[in-house]
Amino acid sequence: MAGTVATMTSHDIPFPNILVWGAVVVELGIGLCLMAGLLARAAALVLAAYTLALGLLFHAYWLAPAAEARFDRIIFFNHLSIIGGMLIVVAFGAGYYSLDALMQRRSERIPSAMRHSVAHL
């Protein structure tokens, strides 16, 4: 985590000691939600925005010196491809074997009269 704080500091990110915890929550917490397919569309949208911010802040190859520009360009376009994958999940969902789909199938098995009585509790 010290390496992340150092990287954030070198890019003039304010409050890196605090924001590093936000990065941990997004990368681990929301990443696990996406992996399990729990609230997958929302998780993918948050991760897409986060990945775009990372690419723009840390891998702006158009601002980098020539020696670093090649590496930053590769990483920046790698981030764009990851964003594309996230947007596919946003558009189509996590799939049949996700927790979202499992919860949807379970809610469809509950009779509608029972759903209405449970909603009023």
Query: Per-residue pLDDT for the chain (121 aa), expressed as one digit of tens each?
Result: 788 888 888 877 878 888 889 889 999 999 999 999 999 999 999 999 999 999 998 888 998 888 889 999 999 999 999 999 999 999 999 889 899 999 888 888 776 656 565 555 5
What's this model's pTM, rounded to 2 decimal places?
0.80
* Token pair recorded at residue 44: 């993918």
What is the CA angle 60-62-68, rounded to 5?
Answer: 75
Task: Tell me the two tokens of residue 113.
Answer: 């009269």
- How much is the pLDDT for 115? 59
| Local structure of residue 95 (DSSP, 8 states) | -
pLDDT computed for residue 116 by the predictor: 60
pLDDT at 14: 79
Domain housing 60: 2-119
Least Cα distance to 104 among 8, 40, 25, 47 occurs for: 40
Count of the separate structural domains present in the chain = 1
- Burial (CB < 10 A; 0-12, 13-18, 19+), residue 11, is exposed
Are residues 39 and 103 in contact, defined by beta-carbon separation less than 8 angstroms?
Answer: no
Query: What integer pLDDT is reported at residue 117 of this predicted model?
Result: 58
10 Å Cβ neighbour count for 35?
A: 12
What's residue 84's pLDDT? 97
